[in-house]
Amino acid sequence: MAAFRGGVTSLKNALFNPSGSVFRSQVAAVVRCMSTGQYQNLIVDKKGQNQNVGFIQLNRPKALNALCDELMVELTQAVTDFENDGNVGCIVITGSEKAFAAGADIKEMQKRDFSQAYDENFTAAWTKVAECKKPIIAAVNGYALGGGNELAMMCDIIYAGEKAKFGQPEIKLGTIPGAGGTQRLTQSIGKSKAMEMVLTGNPINAEDAEKAGLVSKVFPVEQLVDEAIKLGETISAQSKLVSAMCKEAVSASFEMSLREGLHFEKRTFHATFATHDRMAGMTAFIEKRPADFKDK
Ligand code: CAA
């Protein structure tokens, strides 16, 4: 298990919401993490020939990787560390063959009342994965349910194992998706399919998820993680500066009107003309050799 590297600053970021109030239920988890300096719910490593793919495996097998507070604090920390690691160009998040993640931790959640959920802005601290500048690939085997599916959708690309199941079963628990399921799923697969999943709680399989556009590729279960790492290596070989700009521009399409998005894209495209790597890429093409990107 890798030790925490990012230190106190990013833990503080995980602890405080924008209005400055403490996520009280996470304090104990963070104190525990800080005192041991190790991840209790994750396996964190670097993969690929050049060790440039950040690898995070959710590792809470007894609860099918249910996303308890402590796991989410650790995940925020691990993603932040890789975001700050100059050698890492892409991050892969995966789970086990049985479960990517079976959702928010129902046993923890069951005790919360409205005022706690509201006061803590429950699930707001989960957003680091969606906000990370570097591309993130979800490699989903088994169940991606509720918050598990929402976590996968916070990633930029989803690869699935052929036995994966994607669902938003919250309605069966008397609640609704609370970490982006009603929004990102609808943007991803359209209203009719999203409504059916959210209103019935019934999951879809990997093949249907690929057809619907939720997933970009499906692989045999045992090949999935290697394929995700290979993709991570391909992305990591590009300019990290420009891949962050690509990610920002594609992500903007979910937030902006077409006119605003096209304007943002144009300005970002223009901005690449101020980079070393744009000149390096085009010169290398003309000179028929690989580009030597410097991430600046
Ligand atoms: N939270 C807490 N514990 C969970 C869990 C969860 N989301 N999912 C599974 N577990 C635990 C089970 O309680 C069980 O623990 P015990 O052995 O101590 O009883 C263990 O993991 C194994 O689970 P099962 O025995 O249920 O395994 P299974 O193979 O029979 O079923 C499953 C697998 C279909 C995924 C089933 O576990 C299940 O339905 N899980 C809940 C899925 C769910 O409803 N997720 C949505 C959560 S709400 C949410 O995520 C809100 C949000 O938007 C943020």
Q: Reduce the secondary structure of 28-94 to three states and give it as a string.
A: HHHHHHHHHCECCCEEEEEECCCCCEEEEEECCHHHCCCECHHHHHHHHHHHHHHHCCCCCCEEEEE
Q: Do residue 219 and residue 275 come from a single domain?
A: no
**Number of domain units in the chain:** 2
Q: Which residues of the chain have pLDDT under 50?
A: 1-22, 25
pLDDT given for residue 198 in this prediction: 98
Ligand 1: atom nearest CA of 98 is: 29
Ligand 1: atom nearest CA of 177 is: 53
pLDDT given for residue 38 in this prediction: 86
Q: What is the CATH number of the domain that holds 96?
A: 3.90.226.10
pLDDT given for residue 125 in this prediction: 87
**Where in the sequence is the domain holding 279, given as residue range(s)?**
240-287
What confidence tens digit (pLDDT) does each residue in 187-231 have? Answer: 999 999 999 999 999 999 999 999 999 999 999 999 999 999 999
**146 Cα–ligand 1 center, Å:** 10
104 part of the active site: yes
Q: Do residue 202 and residue 259 come from a single domain?
A: no
Residue 199 inside a domain? The answer is yes
The single residue of 70, 74, 120, 150 carrying the catalytic annotation is 150
Q: Do residue 203 and residue 280 come from a single domain?
A: no
What confidence tens digit (pLDDT) does each residue in 141-161 have? Answer: 999 999 999 999 999 999 999
147 part of the active site: yes
pLDDT given for residue 127 in this prediction: 93
Q: 3-class DSSP state for residue 172?
A: helix
pLDDT given for residue 186 in this prediction: 98
Q: Do residue 186 and residue 248 come from a single domain?
A: no
Among protein residues, the one with the nearest Cα to ligand 1's atom 41 is: 102
d(CA 104, CA 124): 13
What are 247's two structure tokens? 């990610």
150 part of the active site: yes
pLDDT given for residue 15 in this prediction: 47
**Contacting residues for 100 by C-beta, under 8 A, at least 6 apart:** 58, 65, 94, 138, 139, 140, 141, 142, 143, 144, 148, 151, 152, 164
Distances (CA, A) of 32 to 11, 23, 98, 172, 235: 12, 15, 28, 33, 35
d(CA 167, CA 206): 11
d(CA 272, CA 28): 44
Residue 32 inside a domain? The answer is no
Q: Do residue 251 and residue 124 come from a single domain?
A: no
pLDDT given for residue 84 in this prediction: 97
Q: Do residue 113 and residue 258 come from a single domain?
A: no
What are 81's two structure tokens? 């560390």
Residue 265 inside a domain? The answer is yes
Residue 15 inside a domain? The answer is no
pLDDT given for residue 208 in this prediction: 98
Among protein residues, the one with the nearest Cα to ligand 1's atom 3 is: 63
Q: Do residue 84 and residue 159 come from a single domain?
A: yes
**150 Cα–ligand 1 center, Å:** 15
Q: Are 235 and 178 in contact (CB under 8 A)?
A: no
Q: What is the CATH number of the domain that holds 255?
A: 1.10.12.10
Residue count of the chain, please give it.
Answer: 296
